[in-house]
Homo-oligomer: A and B are copies of this chain.
Amino acid sequence: MRKGILDRLNAGEVVIGDGGYVMQLERRGYVKAPHFTPEAVVEHPEAVRQLHREFRRAGADVLQTLTFYSSDEKLQISGNINEAACDLAREIANESDALVAAGVSQTPVYPTHRNEAEVKAIIQKQLDVFTKKDIDFYIVEFFKHVEEAVWAVEVMKTGGKPVGATLCISPQGDKDGTPPGECAVRLVRAGADMVGINCHLDPLTCVRTVKLMKEGLEKAGLKAHLIVQPLGFHTPECNHSGYTTLAEYPFAMEARAMTRWDMQKYAREAYNAGIRYIGGCCGFEPYHIRAIAEEMSPERGILPAASNKHGLWGAALANHGTSFMTERACREYWENLLPASGRPNCPSMSTPSEK
């Protein structure tokens, strides 16, 4: 029997999450932006299956069901979709000892009504599907308001499985201005076993926000495991509003994509901040997850399967015939490289839209 998420975290293990599905599947031709709904699980299950497999192969210990924005309100057929999503994740997870996490995200009714009963009914409907399926734990993710996330945690907690909760907020706090420390306290008091941040901002900013959550918990005398699943993009100019306000969103984000070396740095920072559930969100591709796994390999004692096709820090370049290439076969080279964009007519930062 596989070891549960809390057993792993309680034992001090570093758990690696998977990356973002919808943005990667958009590039592969199966998901439509900016809706980012997950109908691919029924329309093209082979594509979802393959991406699950790649993240797993790259080192992810957890596979998340592709149930993002998958409530009836967003999607007429969410019931079927959610069941199919659970089956796909479970199928690939069972090829090895991966865990399956099912996620719920913010509801379309909250911003207009802020009605607790309505929100909870939507979340409950999703939980009902998950309960039928063999899910290992739940993640309440991509919430901009802690209030709604708390309601979601309260519902998911009734499912009898561990619950993680990640907000997509900045160090300045949630959309109502609640500081990250207070958000964390409210989520943990509502029953969350793990709290943290996902999406919307770049890795180092998200790590900074999780640190503020940690400080809030410590001041309140509370304990919880910490999660971080940030963007895989450089977004230095949009630290509160999130990346959707960037001029490049969603169809010209390429130049902002992080390298594998950026990811190793991020993983180390997250680890040093006390975070033990380290994954990714939009912009993360399988090789980014592999980079986390490689950076954490001294702590974890293992390398992922996909590292068979990758030398640590460019080691595979060592036997290349040209001297300029063999010089790149070392950590120092890649760690210090400031990669050029090849775009001399483009700026390095843009002005985010006002939301």
Interface residues of A (CB under 8 A from B): 26-35, 46-47, 50, 53-54, 57-58, 202, 233-237, 244-248, 250-261, 285-287, 290, 305-306, 308-311, 314, 316-317, 320, 322, 324-325, 328, 334, 337-351, 353-355
Contacts and interface: CB of A to CB of B under 8 A. Distances in A.
Given A33-B316, A325-B244, A286 B354 contact: no
Contact of A347 (B47, B236, B252, B340): B340
Nearest to A236: B342
Given A202-B342, A236-B344, A345-B350, 10 more contacts: A29-B310, A254-B254, A324-B353, A338-B345, A339-B346, A339-B350, A341-B346, A342-B349, A343-B348, A344-B347
B234 A26 contact: no
Given A244-B325, A316-B34, A254 B29 contact: no
Contacts of A305: 29
Contact of A340 (B27, B247, B306): B247
Contact of A346 (B53, B311, B347): B347
A253 B17 CA distance: 24
13 contacts: A29-B306, A33-B310, A234-B342, A235-B342, A244-B325, A248-B339, A338-B347, A341-B346, A342-B349, A343-B348, A344-B347, A345-B349, A345-B350
A250 B316 CA distance: 11
Nearest to A287: B27
Q: Count identical subunits in the complex.
A: 4
Contact of A47 (B30, B54, B256, B325): B54
A52 to B, nearest CB: 12
A334 B251 contact: yes
B345 A343 contact: no
A254 B258 contact: yes
A288 to B, nearest CB: 9
Contacts of A260: 251-252
B355 A348 contact: no
Nearest to A244: B325
Contact of A349 (B27, B32, B316, B344): B344
Contacts of A343: 234, 255-256, 338-339, 341, 348
Nearest to A288: B27
Of A235, A305, A314, most B-chain CB atoms within 10 Å: A314
Given A247-B340, A347-B346, A309 B31 contact: yes
Contacts of A245: 324
A324 B247 CA distance: 9
A298 B29 CA distance: 20
A299 B344 CA distance: 32
Given A257-B254, A348-B346, A325 B247 contact: no
Nearest to A254: B257
A213 B46 CA distance: 42
A351 B309 CA distance: 28
Contacts of A254: 254-255, 257-259, 339
Contacts of A324: 245, 353-355
